Amino acid sequence: MQLVIDANIAFSLLKKDSFSRKLMREHKLELYSHPFILDELRKHASELCAKVGVSDDKFDRLLLILSKLIIVDKPSQQIHNRALSLISDKDDAPYIASAIKIGCAICSNDPHLKEQLVVKVYTTKELAAVLQS
């Protein structure tokens, strides 16, 4: 199954005992994201290190976990504009655009992503139920 993940899911993959990390490890999933995701995580590295309880050095090693992410080439301006028109939180439009571009669903626990009806959005719990059925 192919899925675009947002920054919150990517962050949860860094947590050793997170439900998201367990779920992604147990199932064969192709994880995609927008090109800015690793920069976004690095930008908030100090905050994330504090939440995960690791040093900056260990954080860099944790980012290797995300090296399996397939970074989607930047969607066209037309696709990006379409994504912007579908969602109220414009910061999340790149995830919608990426999912439209490759034709897959999104995994996110942000409820506002479900405002739009073009791209299927699974929470981690919904995804677990689908994968277990």
Span 75-123, pLDDT tens digits: 999 999 999 999 999 989 999 999 999 999 999 999 999 999 999 999 9
Entry field: residues in the chain: 133
Provide the residue range defining the domain that includes 115: 2-132
Counting beta carbons within 10 angstroms of the beta carbon of residue 15, is it exposed (0 to 12), middle (13 to 18) or buried (19 or more)?
A: middle
Distance, in Å, from the CA atom of 120 to the CA atom of 25, rounded to the nearest integer, reads 22
pTM, full prediction = 0.85
- Strand partners for 70: 32
Calpha distance 83→77 (Å, rounded): 10
**Is the pLDDT assigned to residue 126 strictly greater than 90?**
yes
Distances (CA, A) of 54 to 51, 75, 121, 132: 8, 34, 31, 32
pLDDT the model gives residue 55: 77
In 3D space, the residue among 39, 107, 42, 98 whose CA is nearest the CA of residue 70 turns out to be 98
Tell me what percent of the residues of the chain surpass a pLDDT of 70.
Answer: 98
State whether residue 120 is helix, strand or coil: coil
Measured CA to CA, the distance from residue 104 to residue 13 in angstroms comes to 20
Domains contained in the chain, number = 1
Q: What is the CATH number of the domain that holds 121?
A: 3.40.50.1010
Provide the pLDDT confidence category of residue 124 given band limits of 50, 70 and 90: very high
User: For 23-27, 33-37, 52-56, 127-131, which range has the lowest pLDDT when averaged over its residues?
Assistant: 52-56
> What is the Cα–Cα distance from 109 to 124, expressed in whole angstroms?
7
Mean pLDDT over 43-50 rounds to: 81
- Looking at residue 82, its pLDDT comes to 97
pLDDT at site 77: 96
